[in-house]
Amino acid sequence: MRKKMLLLVATILLSGSANAAQDTRQQIKMPEMMRDHLLALHEIQAALAAGKLDQAAEIAEQRIGMSSLTKHNASHMAPYMPAAMQAIGTEMHHAASRFARSAHEGDLKKALTDLSGITQQCVACHAGYRVQ
């Protein structure tokens, strides 16, 4: 009985690792990317509070804005998202680039309004979609 159990466990473990070895699918690093978005928002707010608007603009553009698209491999990810979800993602990238422009211009009030335009898209997507 115990021997049978051990054999069963070993078989499950072995077949598990064999499957993992053959799995050539591309892994999408969505949670990692998301955590960096959150970190970027935090850094943006800290920079704004310190009066470093240019720095805030740079973080937004490079990490969330249109300039971040190639880094995130967006063209590989987009086909796996429903169209409406893709649209929210695209709007988020545009909003971040809009924020970057107003922060560069030194207009704090406009920058804050545009910052909420970014978080609005985070909230919209999280309210509608999940991965598991």
Task: Report in angstroms how near the CB of residue 105 gets to ligand HEC at its nearest.
Answer: 21
Binds ligand HEC (CB under 6 A): choice among 19, 22, 31, 70: 31
Task: Report in angstroms how near the CB of residue 12 gets to ligand HEC at its nearest.
Answer: 27
Task: Report in angstroms how near the CB of residue 92 gets to ligand HEC at its nearest.
Answer: 4
Site residues (CB under 6 A) for ligand HEC, limited to 40-79: 41, 64
Contact between 37 and ligand HEC by CB under 6 A: the answer reads yes
Binds ligand HEC (CB under 6 A): choice among 44, 48, 57, 88: 88
Here the contacts of 122-130 (C-beta below 8 Å, separation 24 or greater) are 122/37, 122/41, 122/92, 124/88, 125/85, 125/88, 125/89, 125/92, 128/84, 128/85, 128/88, 129/82, 129/85
Distances (CA, A) of 47 to 2, 40, 86, 96, 127: 62, 10, 29, 15, 28
Q: Point out which residues bind ligand HEC (CB under 6 A).
A: 31, 34-35, 37-38, 41, 64, 85, 88-89, 92, 118, 121-122, 125-126, 129-132
